[in-house]
Structure 1
Amino acid sequence: MDDVTPDHSDWRGETLARVRALIVQAEPTVVEEVKWRKPSNPAGVAAWSLDGLICTGETYKDKVKLTFAQGASLDDPAGLFNSSLDAKVRRAIDLHQGDAIDADAFRALIRAAAALNSAR
């Protein structure tokens, strides 16, 4: 569903498209939708779910933020989480222009989040 990712024709859109592809590779049956549309953010927020929310992808002027709903409960041996590290439940990955993401580690994190959801 290419229309799920909020429309950005710059590096943020490219980053979200790369992340989306990795999510679908990790969990091909993931449900994609746009949530939380509002006047200040008419494009909404990309959200991926499987037996519950896995993560969201939000765009900001200087970053793309991937927030994992149950991130604090996930092992992150590659150290992908770099934001919301003190939060009790969620964790996030902030990607700035030019940042690369470890595809294997990210797919493993997606699979772990989906497994956590299905175990609940």
Structure 2
Amino acid sequence: MSTHETSAREEVDAIIAGAGGWRAEALATIRAVIISADPEIVEEIKWRKPSKPEGVATWTCRGNVCMADVLKKAVRLTFPRGARLDDPTGLFNARLDGSTVRAIDVFEGAQVDEGALRRLVLEAVAENRAG
């Protein structure tokens, strides 16, 4: 594992710890599903800015696969090419009006359908590999 990957993993750990409570649990579950879906998926931190110095936890494989944001009332997992993905179980419940992006908002008390999420991640990786 490269120093960059170790650093990103530690920074994602810090984002999860900073989320606290149910949001930390949800983000940890989401993260575990994503990184177990494909061995080529890499964790990165992107989009650092003064209002968000910790940046955004992002998972990549030949391009962005998805990124997570901790919101006040949800954990949002955004797929930049989500509109191209088949979502038969209806995980996407946010950013549905755009032509490319789709997102999943996980709210307190909600269970993440790990199998359906894994399928979406694998499909997103396949989209990236196809170009």
Which TM-score band (shorter chain)? over 0.9
The amino acid across from 2:114 in the alignment is A
The alignment's TM-score, normalised by the length of structure 2, stands at 0.86
Aligned residues: 120
Unaligned runs of 5+ in 2: 1-8
1:105 corresponds to which of 110, 116, 129: 116
* Residues 7-33 of structure 1, C-alpha deviations (whole Å, 9 max, x = no match): 322221221111000001111221101
* Aligned residue identity for 2:92: F
* Structure 1 runs (4+) greater than 4 angstroms displaced: none
Which residue number corresponds to residue 17 of structure 1?
A: 28
State the Cα distance separating 1:98 from its structure 2 match: 1.1
Do the aligned partners of 2:94 and 2:102 also contact (CA within 8 Å) in 1?
Answer: yes
How big is the shift at 1:44?
Answer: 1.5
Partner of 2:99: 88
Q: Measure, in 2, the Cα distance between the counterparts of 1:72 and 1:10.
A: 31
- 3-state SS in 1 of match to 2:39: coil
Who is 2:37 aligned against?
Answer: 26
Provide the aligned C-alpha RMSD in A.
1.2
Q: What does residue 4 of structure 1 align with?
A: 12
1:55 aligns with 2:66: yes
| Cα distance in 2, alignment partners of residues 102 and 79 from structure 1 | 10
Residue identity matched to 2:96: L
2:6 matched residue in structure 1: none
Q: Could you tell me how far apart the structure 1 residues matched to 2:39 and 2:76 are?
A: 22
Alpha-carbon distance, 1:2 to partner: 4.4
Runs of 5+ unmatched residues, structure 1:
none
The TM-score with structure 1 as length reference comes to 0.94
| Deviation (angstroms), 1:83 | 0.6
Give a deviation string over 1:64-101, Cα, whole Å, max 9, x none: 11000100000001110001111100100001111111
Deviation at 1:42, TM superposition (A): 2.0
Q: Tell me which of 15, 35, 56 is aligned to 1:45.
A: 56
**Following the alignment from structure 1 to structure 2, what is the Cα–Cα distance between the partners of residues 2 and 40?**
20
| Greater share of residues in helix | 2
Question: Counterparts of 2:116 and 2:10 in 1: how far apart (Å)?
Answer: 24
